[in-house]
Every structure is written in structure tokens, then in C-alpha cells.
Chain A
Amino acid sequence: MSNTIDTTQVKLTPKDFASGQDVRWCPGCGDYSILAQVQRVLPELGIPKEQIIWISGIGCSSRFPYYMGTYGFHTIHGRAAAIATGVKVSRPELSVWVATGDGDMMSIGGNHFIHTCRKNVDLKILLFNNRIYGLTKGQYSPTSEVGLISKSTPYGSVDYPFNPLSLALGSGATFVARAADNDPKHMQEMIKRAAEHKGTAFLEILQNCVIFNDGAYDAITGKENRTDKMLYLKHNQPMTFGKDNSKGIKLDGFKPVVIDLNDGVHSANDCWIHDETDHDAARSFILAHMTDHPELPVPFGVVRQEYKTTYDQAVSNQIAAVTEKRGKGDLQKILRGGNTWEIA
């Protein structure tokens, strides 16, 4: 009788990553696309699904873990990053993913978000950015553009939105990227890149809320505009966009400008060459802030990738180093140690 267990890796399919629960987002919601792309990419990673955990806060996006056939954790509004940090440092072998939204992560969860990035905790954070509170039925969010009419801003919002890429960069995230819900192929690539990154990977996904903020990104990702408004970043490649890549981005000092590659004056050689690992973060910020300038296209792809020791790794390293220097601790010795006081 043999008691050997077959350990050959089972080939997983997208179906293996579905939970069997009814997916309950509104018909036409951009979240369906994100779910489909994640379920398509995860089998390719070669990570056993029991090693993957999806963690969320509160909001429409945060229903995500219910629909994934992995371990899941539906937690507290805004706190997913902190809870995910707890999971990762306790179980460093897990692949820890956070599904969150602009209300959840940029508003109430802003504090946890910046500190997770700063510490470079090895988490994959997917921000479903629809620029509105969907679950509470349509109040403006910290990524809503100035002037947005919503249920809580019936005369238009007056405060300025966050630029999530810039916030992530400023907080020290080591992988910062952007995708759109209506470009599934590119999104898959970005999810894969985020998965492979070691450290805090932040992926902003422009996602349409069909009910409360429909068409928020039409001017960028809409059929008629995407050729001229979406700039796909490729590492070590000149930044070109437009029909037949007829336009390019030139970096004029610190100012990105659009150049016409067919004007007989400019060529691809004049274009800014994208460097994901640029040692000077200032240029990464310039890319992130191109979103704020209506005359410029909006960058998609990996804006920045850096390699730094992750927090969870640093903690393990420190424990190992101290153990090596001082030896393995003995609890009984400490409990029975000489540092006692007598109370008179």
C-alpha cells in the first residue's frame, strides 16, 4: 500500500477562482470586468489558491472577496490595508490582495493607505476608482472632480480631488500602476505585474459606476476619445499615442508637452522614454499629474516600480539577526529572571 500523496501542481482555471456566490453588482458595473480579469490572471500565477487571500473594507468594490474562490475577509470601512498588514506579517507566505474603492481607501482609509505604502508591506492593492460612493447611493468622494453634482453636493462639490497615483507615490508605494475597466487585456497585464511585484503594489483601475456616476471617464476611455486620451506606458519605450502613434510626449524641463510626430520637425527620438525604475521620483510624479491637465493624455500602465526590502521581510530579517546574536529566547528564563521587585 502506498501512502505517497500526489503533489503535482493542479492546473487551475478561472472557474477555480469563482466562489459560486451570485455576483450582485448593478448590471453594467465596471466591477464585473475587474472580477473577470482577476479570475483570468490568478491561474497563471502558479500560486495555489489556498495561498491567496482577498481582503476588503466597505463599499461596492468590497463585495469582491465574496465572489472569489479564495480565502476572503470582508472587514471594516477603510481599514482593509491595516487588516491586510496584520495578515501579511502573521502569514508572510500568503499572497495578500486588497480590493477597495475611492470612498473606502482614499477617504476614511487614507491614513492606513499611506502607512501601508510607506512601510512597503507586501500587499497587492486594487483601487476601484469610480469617483463616487456607490453603496450609500451616490455621495461625492475624495476623487470626485470639482463641481460634481451628487446627492451630498447638489450644487457641485467645492473641494479638490486626490490624485491616487500621486498619493501612492508620495507615500512610498514601490509599484504604482493604472488600468481601465474597459481595456481588459491591459488590465490583465497590470494585475499580473502587480502580483509579481514584491512590496506594496498599487493598481488604480478607472471603473465606471453606471448608476451614480455614469460616464465619469468617457472623456478618457470612451470609444471616441481613447486613442487621443490614453497614453500606454511601456518601459524603455518612447511615449507615443494617438492614431497610428502619430503623437508623442516630450519632456520640456519638468513640463510634459504633446508633439506631432508627423510635422516633419519631431520624431520618436524627441519623445520622453519611459523608465519605470527612474531613480528620480520627480519624473514619476510628472506622469501621475498628467491626469490633471486636460490638454495631455492620461497615462496607463506601470508608472513606477522600485525594489526595496518589504516590511514583512524586514521584520523577519530583524528577528533572525537578533536571534543569531543573542540566541533563541527562553521564556522560562525570563519569567524566572532576576529582575523582580518586592513590594513592602
Chain B
Amino acid sequence: MKELKLMKGNEALAEAAIRCGCDAYFGYPITPQSEVLEYLSMEAHSRTGMLVLQAESEVAAINMIYGAAGTGKKVMTTSSSPGISLMQEGISYIACAELPCVLANVVRGGPGLGTIQPSQGDYFQAVKGGGHGDYKLIVLAPSTVQEMVDFVKLAFNLAFKWRNPVMILTDGALGQMMEKVELFPQEERTFEPLPWATTGKPKSRERNFITSLHMQADAMEEINRHLQAKYKKIEEEETMFEEYMCDDAEYILTAYGLVARICQKAAQLAREKGIKVGVFRPKTVFPFPTGQLAKLAGKVKGILDVEMNAGQMVEDVRLAVNGKIPVEFHGRMGGVIPSPEEVLHKLEEKFVGGKA
């Protein structure tokens, strides 16, 4: 029987973490995602024995993740933009040490302290690395509370499959809004003795040493080559996207997360006016569905990319389209959400000359 529940996005992240057998959560309060910590504090320990720890800062939280991930356990942290900025040093080290963990950024308006309203201003930070050095996170961008649930499970699977940090890139609106979700059954907390994990050293196993320091430039380049090869394989195997009314579309709206839903509504409004519009939504923003979007670009007249920022994903859209057709951008910043009517108006203004 289906288990349906009405949940806030933040609660959904927490509930899914418990259900997929997460071992530990480390976090620090910050609006608009403190409910994750609160929900887990209330539920997790009594249900599965999962550990929940309120750290003294986000810097502490990510380093506790580094330590716990090194033991081969399933670990997770969540925060919102300023807190995620604080974690960047740790994330870079974790990526280099190739340890699995799940992070969620419930993005709020920036820069600086900004606002507590939803934003997509952290796209570059999430998708292009964020901290220092050449590394990538696998970045999943849910657009519904249901996907908040599903992507947590997916994130753990990907993190362990690729030994890489996986980030769920969401926003304050999805974190706070309530929707019906279908929950997957509780999975058992299991522990596989992974060869790379710190579990103590009996005579039967090799000494394990976790580090991201390699003093010789040649050796460090080798590590980088290995990482880059891994990211390339991730691009080949893990790209996910969704097309909405794209088959006969003349124009495409590109958007991720919450904005993709606004764009779907805008596409419906456009079709009522006789303009054939579709929506292309990357579900993974790294790896970005470059090939798929390039294919689509060959069939349409123009793309309007819509984001809650000053134009970040649009750079990846333009790289994919590679000049074949015009790519225009519309964005709102600082916590403002665009309306479907506004998106349609922009589309008409940019492409149809307001005549349609």
C-alpha cells in the first residue's frame, strides 16, 4: 500500500534520510532549513538509532561529516547559503579524499546575509566546485517535495557508487512548502565493510590513510586525472532531465528546481495563446544534460532560460547550444520568485515581438 503524507520540503529531506538508513546527521540551525535538524532530532534516534548532532558551526558540521564519512557510514548535512559557504573548505577536502556524503543546500537570497526567501543564487557554487581546486559534486535539483524525498535516496546511492559528495540543490520555497509525498518503505541500516573505510586495522587488511595532500606535483596531477576521469564517467552515466511539451515546441524555456514548475505554467499559458512552448528541466545540474539540450536546440527557434539569480545556469545552456539558436535570459534576484505571466511576457518580448 502507498504511504502518502503531507510534508514540508525540509521535513521530507529529513524523513527520507531516516528511511534510507542514514547513520548520522550533523547540522547547525539556519533559516530556512532548521526544520531538517529539528525533525531529525525528534524522529531519527528512536526510529533507527541514527545519530543527530547540532554542531557549533557549519565549519564544525562539515568536518564532522568528513570524519564520519571516512568511517564508511552514511552521513548527511544540510544548511542554507551562508552556511554552505562556510562548508566549502571541507567539501573540497572530502571531494579530493573521495568520500561519500550527502549535502543539501536550501538556498536563500544572497549575496552576504541576504534574505531568507528562496533563490537559485548558489548554482555556480554548487555546480562549478565551490571550494578551491578542480573538483565536482554531483548536484541534484528537485522541483517538488516528492523529489526532495526521492533525491535523498538517489543521492546516497550515487555518493557511494562514485565515492563523491552529492548535493541536493533546492531553495527556501521548496523547503518550506507542503505537498503530498509518497514515501518509500523504511530500509535497514546496514554497514558494508568498504575497503577504503576507517574501521580499524586487523592483520587481514591494508593500512588505510585518508589525505588530500600529495607533495609531489606529478602525484597530485595523477590524482586530478583520476578525479576528472571519474567526473567524465559520471557525465556519461548519471545525467537526468525532464522534457515538458517539447515534442512540437518552437521555443524552449530552460529552468531547474522550483522555477521549472513556474515555466511549465508559463508554457501552458503560451499554448493557450497559440505559441508552442516547451520546458527543458535538468534534474542533475552536474552532470548537466548538455547533449540532450544540444539536440533539442536543433529543433527550436530560441531558448529563454529562467532562474532566480542573475544568470548562472544560462552559461551551461549557452555552452550546450553553442550559438546554434539565440539564448535569452530572465532572472529575479534576492529572494523574488518570477510569476508564470512574467515569464510568458518575457518570452513574447524576446522572441515573438509581443505580436503573438
Contacts and interface: CB of A to CB of B under 8 A. Distances in A.
Interface of A: 58, 74, 76-78, 103, 107-108, 110, 133, 135-137, 139-140, 142, 151-155
Given A58-B113, A139-B29, A152 B54 contact: yes
A136 B56 contact: no
A154 B34 CA distance: 14
B178 to A, nearest CB: 18
Interface stretch (B36-44, B120-128, B188-196, B228-236): B36-44
A140 B57 contact: no
A76 B58 CA distance: 13
24 contacts: A58-B113, A74-B113, A76-B82, A78-B57, A107-B57, A108-B28, A108-B56, A133-B29, A135-B31, A136-B31, A136-B34, A137-B31, A137-B34, A139-B29, A139-B38, A139-B54, A151-B34, A151-B38, A151-B41, A152-B37, A152-B38, A152-B52, A152-B54, A155-B45
Given A77-B82, A139-B37, A152 B29 contact: yes
Contact of B42 (A135, A137, A154): A154
A65 to B, nearest CB: 13
B30 interface: yes
A135 B113 CA distance: 14
Nearest to B34: A136
Given A135-B31, A136-B34, A140-B54, 9 more contacts: A58-B113, A76-B113, A77-B57, A108-B28, A110-B56, A133-B29, A152-B29, A152-B54, A154-B41
Contacts of B28: 108
A77 B59 CA distance: 12
A142 B29 CA distance: 13
A107 B28 CA distance: 10
Nearest to A74: B113
B57 A152 contact: no
Interface residues of B, number: 18
Interface string B45-76: 10000001010111100000000000000000
Contact of A153 (B41, B58, B59): B41
Nearest to B33: A136
Interface string B272-306: 00000000000000000000000000000000000
Interface of B: 28-31, 34, 37-38, 41-42, 45, 52, 54, 56-59, 82, 113
A307 to B, nearest CB: 32
9 closest residue pairs by CB, A with B: A108-B57, A136-B29, A151-B38, A139-B29, A107-B56, A154-B42, A152-B41, A152-B54, A136-B34
A154 B43 CA distance: 9
With most chain B CB atoms within 10 A of its CB, the pick from A76, A136, A137, A155 is: A136
Contacts of B52: 152
Most buried by A among B37, B56, B58: B56
Contacts of A133: 29
A309 B225 CA distance: 54
Contacts of A103: 29
Contacts of B113: 58, 74, 76
B130 to A, nearest CB: 18
B15 to A, nearest CB: 16
Contacts of B59: 108
Nearest to B54: A152
B225 to A, nearest CB: 31
Nearest to A58: B113
A124 B322 CA distance: 57
Q: Name the residue among A77, A133, A135, A140 with the largest chain B CB count within 10 angstroms.
A: A77
Contacts of A58: 113
A114 to B, nearest CB: 13
Nearest to A78: B57
A73 B192 CA distance: 51
Contacts of A140: 54
Residue of A139, A140, A155 with most chain B CB atoms under a 10 A cut-off: A139
Contacts of A78: 57
Nearest to B40: A152
Contacts of B38: 139, 151-152
B338 to A, nearest CB: 28
A315 B76 CA distance: 45
A78 B52 CA distance: 23
B41 A142 contact: no
Nearest to A157: B54
A156 to B, nearest CB: 11
Contacts of A110: 56
A202 B57 CA distance: 22
A86 B38 CA distance: 36
A137 B42 CA distance: 15
Given A78-B57, A107-B56, A142-B56, A136 B30 contact: yes
Nearest to A106: B56
A137 B32 CA distance: 11
B146 to A, nearest CB: 26
Nearest to B82: A77
Contacts of B41: 151-154
A275 to B, nearest CB: 34
Nearest to A142: B56
A78 to B, nearest CB: 7
Nearest to A133: B29
A133 B38 CA distance: 13
Contacts of B58: 108
Nearest to A151: B38
A21 B192 CA distance: 58
A153 B40 CA distance: 10
A142 B37 CA distance: 16
B37 to A, nearest CB: 5
Contacts of A154: 41-42
B17 to A, nearest CB: 15
A24 B136 CA distance: 42
Contacts of B37: 139, 152
- Which of A136, A140, A142, A152 has its CB near the most chain B CB atoms (within 10 A)? A152
| Most chain A C-beta atoms within 10 Å of own C-beta, residue among B29, B45, B82, B113 | B29
Contacts of B34: 136-137, 139, 151-152
B29 to A, nearest CB: 4
A339 B37 CA distance: 57
A137 B176 CA distance: 15
A73 to B, nearest CB: 12
